[in-house]
A and B are shown apart, each in its own frame.
Chain A
Amino acid sequence: MRIKIELFGASREFSKNNLIEFNVSNNSKIKDIRAEMNKYLDENFSGNENYKKILKSSSFCSEDNNIVSDNYKITENEKIGIIPPIGGG
């Protein structure tokens, strides 16, 4: 199935489009998305350690705007948001 990862904050550096799309197997979970994104960073940024740190310390957000755990099951075409460490105000 196809899923979209919407990028925010420091993770916007991962793509010029502010969005990354992946094909993943049905019933994939957030932890699978982390693995896919790790692969993506290896392939596109030679495993940039700073980017990997950002990914590791990020939370994820479901399409209905809840922060979800690594065991959250993603549905087809769901748009997931990556939430890097925050610091507004």
Chain B
Amino acid sequence: MLHTDIIDIKQKKLSIKDAEKFIASANYGASIIFTGTVRNQNNNKNVIGITYDSHDALVLKSFNEIYNETEKKLNIKNKAVFIEHAKGYLNLKEISIIIAVACKHRDEAYILSRYIIEEIKKRSPIWKKEHYIDNKSDWLKGNPLVHEKI
């Protein structure tokens, strides 16, 4: 069971309650809710906010691919996964990503949660522009996309 979305921050904020509601089930004994939030320091610079940009269609495609491969690669069959990522300007402490997973047992839940965030970092076309206290801003360098090409 999977829910994915890109949330335009001008329309609404990411909601941990929505994630909890989606993964709640008596079928699962372990759940983990991972959130990524905007912090105030990066590379010795004082950050005041981050603008997130994304190629929405490719990002949602990557979320689906990551979810689908967890059955084969991790052998985790019964699971609920909720993934939402923000798009737009976020202030400090605001949530940029929620990954909520529920599985039968805790081992699977920890592995699944970690796998999803690490794969998103490698494969999902999302970009960050940091805004600093001195009114300057910079796109973070990032890593070239690791993906099969047609």
Chain A interfacial positions (CB closer than 8 Å to B): 8-10, 12-13, 57-59, 61-62, 65-69, 72, 81, 83-89
Contacts and interface: CB of A to CB of B under 8 A. Distances in A.
Contacts of B36: 89
A72 B141 CA distance: 26
The main secondary structure of chain B at its interface with chain A is mixed
B126 A83 contact: no
B127 A88 contact: yes
Interface of B: 36, 52-55, 57-59, 61, 85, 96-97, 117, 120-121, 123-128, 139-145, 147-150
B144 A85 contact: yes
Contacts of B142: 9-10, 84-87
A87 B147 CA distance: 14
A10 B142 CA distance: 10
The main secondary structure of chain A at its interface with chain B is loop
Contact of A8 (B53, B124, B149): B53
B61 to A, nearest CB: 6
A83 B140 contact: no
Contacts of A89: 36, 85, 96-97, 117, 120-121, 126
A13 B142 CA distance: 16
